[in-house]
Amino acid sequence: MILRRITEHVKTQNWLAVGIDFFIVVVGVFIGLQFSNWNEARQERAQEADYVQRLHDEAKAGLDGLLGWVGVYFEPRYKEYQALVIRMGEGDLDEITISDAQCDVIGNMHDFIAMPSQFPSLAEMTASGQFDLISDPTLRRTLINYRMMKDQSQVLIDNLNTSLTILPNDFPQYFEAQLTNDTPGLELTYKNCDAVGMMADKAFMNRFADTASRYNQYYNIVIDQEKTRVATMHDLLDEKLGIVHDEDQE
Ligand SMILES: [Zn+2]
């Protein structure tokens, strides 16, 4: 239609009209492109908002669920472990007693299990190449750090599980095993550790030192890091979304 009009104007050598027609075409294309860009940007912002909300909900669910379990289960056990090791470092080994709580920690120190990623939507974003949708630089950096930590902790866990000693299997004479059902699922617990026998046994103490150093790394680099990073991310997302939780107000 506009092309026929331009041809007409060229034939009649109406150059001003040709110029105006041409201008209309250029402006039309420009407006069309602008609209398309604007529409795309609007869709991306909506997608970003959707991801940010999902990341928040995943962080909250993780902290209330699995990572809440870290505070209930892992932290008290790690404190028991620290108390025992500090006493061993300071004191006369003959006089050291091992409580049942500490005995259970020693018996189960070898349990190095990877924690699942708390952010399924992060994996989805990465797989679909949509990670760039996250425009907030602090949030981007925090997400990238979380992903890097996840990869590194997987490598660490593989190392921790290589040539690992299971103390109650190799030194059954020092432990009393018990099958309990008071944690989620059936679990082996240990009590009545023979502290005197353990301390006097050089082979045991060497294996204990090795396993303890692995346990220490596992707790500090895998467990504690996971909780801290998800909590930091949650705070960041709360701030970004303007969310205040009830427990924050207490
Ligand atoms: Zn929140």
**CA-based R_g, the chain, Å:** 31
pTM assigned to the model? 0.81
Of 189, 178, 176, give the one whose Cα is nearest residue 104: 189
**66 alpha carbon to ligand 1 midpoint, in Å?**
16
Mean pLDDT of the chain: 90
Token code pair at residue 225: 């890091």
Token code pair at residue 230: 């998800």
**25 alpha carbon to ligand 1 midpoint, in Å?**
51
- At residue 128's C-alpha, the angle toward residues 124 and 131, to 5°, is 75
Q: Are 168 and 190 in contact (CB under 8 A)?
A: yes
At residue 178, φ and ψ (nearest 5 deg) are -145, 135
Of 93, 89, 108, give the one whose Cα is nearest residue 215: 108
DSSP letter, residue 180: E
**151 alpha carbon to ligand 1 midpoint, in Å?**
25
- Give the domain ranges of the chain: 47-249
**56 alpha carbon to ligand 1 midpoint, in Å?**
6
The identity of residue 185, as a single letter, is: G
pLDDT confidence of 248, banded at 50, 70, 90? low
Q: What would the pLDDT profile of 99-131 be if each residue is shown by its tens digit? A: 999 999 999 999 999 988 899 999 999 899 889
**242 alpha carbon to ligand 1 midpoint, in Å?**
9
